Amino acid sequence: WAIGTGAYISEIENYLAKREEHIGQQNKQEFLKIVWLSLIVTLFFVALSFMLSNYLARRFSLYESRINNDFSELNTIKEQLQHQALHDVLTNLPNRVLLADRLSQSMVQSQRHDNLLAVVFLDLDGFKHVNDSYGHDLGDEVLIIVSLRMKEVLREGDSLARIGGDEFVAVLTDLTTVEECEPVLERLLLAASEPVYLGDVELKISASIGVTLYPQDNVSADQLMRHADQAMYIAKESGKNRYHLFDTAEDNAVKVQREILESIRSALDNQQFVLYYQPKVNMRTGKVIGAEALIRWQHPQRGLLNPFDFLPAIENNPMMIELGEWVIDSALRQIGQWQAMGLNLPLNTSVNIAAIQLQQTNFVNRLTTLLTAHPDVDSRYLELEVLETSALEDVHHVSTIMNDCMALGVNFALDDFGTGYSSLTYLRRLPASLIKIDQSFVRDMLHDVDDLAIVEGVIVLAKSFKREVIAEGVETVEHGTALLKIGCELAQGYGIARPMPAGDIPRWINEWKPDIHWQV
């Protein structure tokens, strides 16, 4: 018994024990709740984390795939751009940039292995006509077909590039001799010249090929290209549909030709050309019938040059046309000055016309313009001398031009007659009023019976066709006497007068008298 409490100690202890057990049960339940709640929360966050990580992994994989696709697309575009930068869009052949790289590499390999490589420059003949006649679309088709054909005939290791327009360059490697590349060149010519059929249209073109070999032509890649290009132009000028090997001597000649052309252009621009005049006379009567205008070049270093020193260099160059027009214009101006002086030149002043000038489609129009620029000059005083050989190149065309010019009042002379192969039919069709016997026959007629026979024949022929005839190259009194005996009275040459400046002509006319032996 517990004193002062009215309760037994055992009851208190039982109560406390039960209370302790109850509290323990409550704590245990609370603890379990906390454990379960923590477990549930943990499981929730684990599940949430798994779901989130799985979601993020899927998104990352998707982004990674997109990035890879973007990089792949960028690489594809990059490769396409690189291909376009190095290849021709139309033919898909290497372009000039890739060609330069391959050529440089091939030159290194050639030196390393001590063999040859060939640079082949190819230009299509007649392609411009295809473009002009059928349009650029069809022309592009032709380029594609021909480029495929040419590529197929090359050897393994060789390369073909299109460098623009209808120009191609092939690089042939691992050659041991020059002859080794010739079969390839023949195949290229055949591939280019084979007809192209597009629908109902049959097109025929060909190729001109220039070739240079390295290291025989031991220059840079750019110079190899230029040398092959030069050789190609020689092939084209030689008749097309052929190949030509570059030659150093030819290259030097081309350089000299270029320098001459540049100096002639400078001479035109700086008015260094002058006209000298050689009188033409009737040996029997002593009458001056006219003068021939002969060009001279007052060269600043070399002095006065004859036409043989520079005209051959521009014989087939457009500059010859420009120079020829200058001669006509200057001669017309001089005729006007002589007329203003009261100088009596009863017939003509003649000028030489080159074939390239005469056969221009606008020659008559250009001549009309020149005549119009000198309204005080009677066109009958102008005579155009045409080489027999140039007249025979296209008799129908030349005769048409001559007739049109004669309608303007201009006369014609057939120069250097006897050096060509004129038939009587050709002579009849060419409306020249005067025939000039070439000086080579006249000069040797005194001691060469064949030349004498030619001179006699030309005189008889001229009279038969009612044409006047004049002899060039009369150097001595004996030449004049012999010509008079066979019926030729008109003459010019050093035996009468050398070419002289225009200012000397009036005095010469007043002082000249024919040799007394010619007046018998």
Provide the CATH topology of domain 273-519.
TIM Barrel (3.20.20)
Q: Is the peptide bond before 307 cis (omega within 30 degrees of 0)?
A: no
CA distance 255 to 484: 49
- Which stretch of DSSP H or E encloses residue 174? strand 167-175
What DSSP string runs through 91-106?
Answer: T--B-HHHHHHHHHHH
Q: Which residue has the tokens 């005469």?
A: 358
Q: Where are the domains of the chain?
A: 1-86, 96-246, 273-519
- Which stretch of DSSP H or E encloses residue 249? helix 248-269
DSSP secondary structure code for residue 376 in this structure: T
CA distance 254 to 244: 15
**The total number of residues written for the chain in this structure:** 520
CA distance 369 to 363: 10
Residue 506 makes CB contacts below 8 A (sequence gap 6+) with 338, 341, 343
Residue 133 is which amino acid? S
CA distance 90 to 138: 12
CA distance 355 to 325: 13
For the beta sheet containing 116-125, the strands, ordered from the edge strand earlier in sequence to the opposite edge, are: 159-164, 167-175, 116-125, 206-214, 242-245
Which CATH number is 96-246 given?
A: 3.30.70.270
- Phi, psi for 71 (deg, rounded to 5): -65, -40
What DSSP string runs through 252-291?
Answer: HHHHHHHHHHHHHHHHHHTT-EEEEEEEEEETTT--EEEE
Dihedral, 306, 312, 313, 318 alpha carbons, nearest 10: 110
pLDDT per residue, tens digit, the chain (520 aa), is: 445 555 567 777 787 778 777 787 877 887 788 878 888 888 888 888 888 888 887 888 888 778 777 777 777 777 777 777 889 999 999 999 999 999 999 999 999 999 999 999 999 999 999 998 899 999 999 999 999 999 999 999 999 999 999 999 999 999 999 899 999 999 999 999 999 998 888 999 999 999 999 998 888 999 999 999 999 999 998 899 999 999 877 778 878 888 999 999 999 999 999 999 999 999 999 999 999 999 999 999 999 999 999 998 898 889 999 999 999 999 999 999 888 887 655 458 999 999 889 888 899 999 999 999 999 899 999 999 987 666 566 778 888 999 999 999 999 998 877 665 555 666 777 888 999 998 989 999 999 999 999 999 999 988 888 899 999 999 999 999 999 999 999 999 999 999 999 999 989 998 999 988 887 6
